[in-house]
Amino acid sequence: MMQASGNGERNIRRMTVNARWFEQANIAGLMLSTVFGFLFVNPPSSRAQQDVEAYYKQNCSACHTIGGGKLLGPDLKGVTKAREHEWLEKWLQNPQAMIDSGDPFAVKLQKEYGGIVMPTATGMTPQMAESLLNYIAAKSGETSEAAQASPAQEEPFTEKQVAEGSALFLGRKPFQEGGAACVACHAVKSAGGALGGGQLGPDLTLVYKRLNGRKGVEAWLSSPASATMKPIFNKHPLKPEEIGALTAFFEQTSKESGAEAAGAYRLLFLLLGLFGATIGLLILGLIWKRRIRGVRRALVEGKLGI
């Protein structure tokens, strides 16, 4: 009986070990199948493509398009054929160094775009530069129906959009995703009240003109690429309707500033004209006064022979 009992216990232990082994094998098999399934559904090449697309959208799309025309920077369609691959890789990794080196084309780009220097994007490595150039080359070869079609007529902004954009800029109306009000860092003439707005960022009075109009402003607001704005608005992105309202507001401030500048120029021209006329009359008065004195002196002294 004792021997039978011992055999039974060994059998139970053996069965327990086997059960655990099968359980672990099933877990390992499940994990392997999951990994292989992920690789099959989402192969490395597909993930790399998604990564470079996300990187382009986050770091490049605010200033560039691929076939959509100029924004703050040039259209990148066909750039991989227009410039040498090595030059483009160096430019992507450090544009300022290329300009400082005196590279003729880099200096030309800086002058052509108003002295603005493209910043080096965060996470830009030789590998990412290579991936970006491949992505741009692939996109340059695509011909979509949207690209072939003539551009749609842009509807003019409404007064309601301008008013809403002003409220968003000044913080009177909060952004839906909780982003900071623009006035905290930026100023706009005719807006901002007595304090005039923040000084951390540039004055945005003429930003609509600087970014070449509606398309450039909307692209920038969709994905700000500056070192200060990028981390903030990645977490608190603007809604399309908020982007439209702010763009309307910036268009209006640009127009108002242009009208004010024209009025100021006319006033300055008038004041300069009056000042010049006054100086001219004073000079003529002095000359005429001396002439009269000279005639009187001759008469008194009897030197005119009259």
Angstrom distance (rounded) from CA 65 to CA 88: 16
Check pLDDT > 60 for residue 155. Answer: yes
Residue that wins the pLDDT comparison between 72 and 13: 72
pLDDT tens figures, 11-34: 555 555 455 544 554 554 444 444
Q: pLDDT band for position 160 (50/70/90)?
A: very high
| pLDDT recorded at residue 127 | 92
CB-based contact 71:215 (threshold 8 Å) = yes
User: Average pLDDT in the 147-176 region?
Assistant: 82
Whether 34 contacts 25, CB under 8 Å: no
Q: Distance (Å, rounded) from C-alpha 21 to C-alpha 17?
A: 6
153 phi/psi in degrees, rounded to 5? -70, 130
- Per-residue pLDDT of 206-227, as tens digits, reads 888 888 888 888 888 887 877 7
Residue at 200: amino acid letter: L
Q: Which fold has domain 159-258?
A: Cytochrome Bc1 Complex; Chain D, domain 2 (1.10.760)
* pLDDT category of residue 191 using cuts at 50, 70 and 90: low
Q: H/E/C letters for each residue in the chain?
A: CHHHHHHHHHHHHHHHHHHHHHHHHHHHHHHHHHHHHHHHHCCHHHHHHHHHHHHHHHHCCCCCCCCCCCCCCCCCCCHHHHCCHHHHHHHHHCHHHHHHCCCHHHHHHHHHCCCCCCCCCCCCCHHHHHHHHHHHHHHHHCCCHHHHCCCCCCCCCCHHHHHHHHHHHHCCCCCCCCCCCHHHCCCECCECCCCCCCCCCCCCCCHHHHCCCHHHHHHHHHCCCCCCHHHHHHHCCCCHHHHHHHHHHHHHHHHHHHHHHHHHHHHHHHHHHHHHHHHHHHHHHHHHHHHHHHHHHHHHHCCCCC
pLDDT in tens, 75-125: 888 888 888 999 999 998 888 888 899 999 888 888 887 677 787 888 888
User: Phi, psi at residue 251, to the nearest 5°?
Assistant: -65, -40
Pair of tokens at residue 13: 């232990």
| Domain 45-141, CATH | 1.10.760.10
β-pair partners for 188: 191
